[in-house]
Amino acid sequence: ELYIGDFSRNTNFPIRIGYIGTNTHQKDLLLISDVINKLKKKYGNKIEVEVIGAFQNNKPLFGNRVSLPKNTDYPAFVNWLLKRVKWDIGLIPLAVDEFNNSKSNLKFLEYSALDMAIVVSDHPVYQTVAKDNVNCLIANSSESWTLKLESLINDLKLRDSLAKSAKSMLLSD
């Protein structure tokens, strides 16, 4: 039986924002690096940004690098995520290219299980699960990413509503 994480909503600052992905996602992360760096300048210590995996062997484009656990087989990794990840907002940038067109929507499902609001790129891979302003916010430009993230940083009720809706969709479907 699958255990799905559940934790109390963060009602205070800092708002925790995160990304999980391998180092094959550098092009995707470039889509939001300027946005995240500008938000960090604007909000300072009111936000914390963590990145798991993507910057293991590279200088981070943004945020704080979180080292991967020693055991990264998928069941052990999921258990580690459930204990380690307590984010308010999950980031899913995805560039439109041939490589990403073959991706699945697994990251959306993982973030839903981890009980967070999600901002996702407007990408065909997520069209079957991502419903804008229902279970996530969908962004299609730097300006859109900025506006969507700021709305989540500043609105606990919106974060809570989207996270609950995404988790409910995951559990029912």
Nearest to 17 by CA among 126, 166, 148: 148
Structure letter (DSSP) for residue 159: H
Helix ranges restricted to H, 47-118: 74-84, 98-101, 106-113
Nearest to 15 by CA among 126, 89, 94: 89
Q: What is the pLDDT of residues 139-166, one digit of tens each?
A: 999 999 999 999 999 999 999 999 999 9
Q: What is the pLDDT of residues 48-94, one digit of tens each?
A: 999 998 888 888 899 999 988 888 888 999 899 999 999 999 999 99
Q: Give the helix, strand, coil percentages of the chain, each rounded to 5.
A: 45, 15, 35
pLDDT at position 156: 93
CB 4 within 8 A of CB 167: yes
Q: What is the pLDDT of residues 3-50, one digit of tens each?
A: 444 445 566 779 999 999 888 788 999 999 999 999 999 999 999 999
pLDDT at position 137: 98
